[in-house]
């Protein structure tokens, strides 16, 4: 009987562990922060959009773009500040030292654009 309770406890612990992992992979989108459960300074990518497309950070923040999609993208500043090509799984970081609104695009996908608002 003790063995059965013990095994049941282990199974419950394992299933709770899986549930936690699922929650981490798919956090609820509640519209707060930058969405998607990402760090506040991180921009991800789908196959055709930046996520989030608009990110607001404070001066001095290092923003990290991570291509967590299945296709290549570029992160190309409209102001000539940066121009990086990211294969799936690659990332790129840039530190914004001045306040302002910094637009960027992916040159591979028309309409795929974003903005970093530095306050
Ligand atoms: Cu792209």
pLDDT digits (tens, 9 = 90+) for 55-99: 999 999 999 999 999 999 999 999 999 999 999 999 999 999 999
pLDDT at 16: 47
Counted domains in the chain: 1
Give residue 78 CA to ligand 1 midpoint distance, Å.
15
Tell me what percent of the residues of the chain surpass a pLDDT of 70. Answer: 70
Q: Is the pTM of this model over 0.95?
A: no
Structural domain harbouring 10: 3-118
Q: What is the pLDDT of residue 7?
A: 42
Using the 8-state DSSP alphabet, how is residue 99 labeled?
A: -
Pair 106, 72: CB distance under 8 Å: no
The CATH number that applies at residue 49 is 2.60.40.420
Report whether 34 contacts 74 (CB < 8 A): no
More reliable by pLDDT, 113 or 38: 113
Distance CA 25, CA 21 (A): 6
pLDDT at 3: 54
User: What's the CA-to-centroid distance between 49 and ligand 1, angstroms?
Assistant: 7
- For ligand 1, the distance from its centroid to the CA atom of residue 108, given in whole angstroms, is 5
Cα 23 to averaged position of ligand 1 atoms, centre (Å): 28
CA of 24 to the centre of ligand 1 (A): 26
């Amino acid at each position: 009987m003790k063995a059965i309770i013990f095994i049941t406890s282990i199974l419950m612990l394992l299933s709770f562990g899986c549930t936690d992992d699922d929650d981490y992979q798919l956090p609820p989108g509640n519209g707060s922060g930058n969405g998607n459960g990402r760090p506040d300074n991180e921009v991800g990518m789908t196959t055709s959009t930046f996520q989030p497309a608009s990110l607001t950070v404070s001066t001095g923040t290092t923003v990290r773009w991570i291509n967590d999609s299945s296709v290549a993208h570029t992160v190309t500043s409209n102001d000539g500040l940066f121009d990086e090509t990211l294969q799936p799984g690659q990332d790129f970081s840039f530190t914004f030292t001045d306040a302002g609104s910094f637009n960027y695009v992916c040159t591979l996908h028309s309409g795929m654009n974003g903005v970093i608002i530095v306050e």
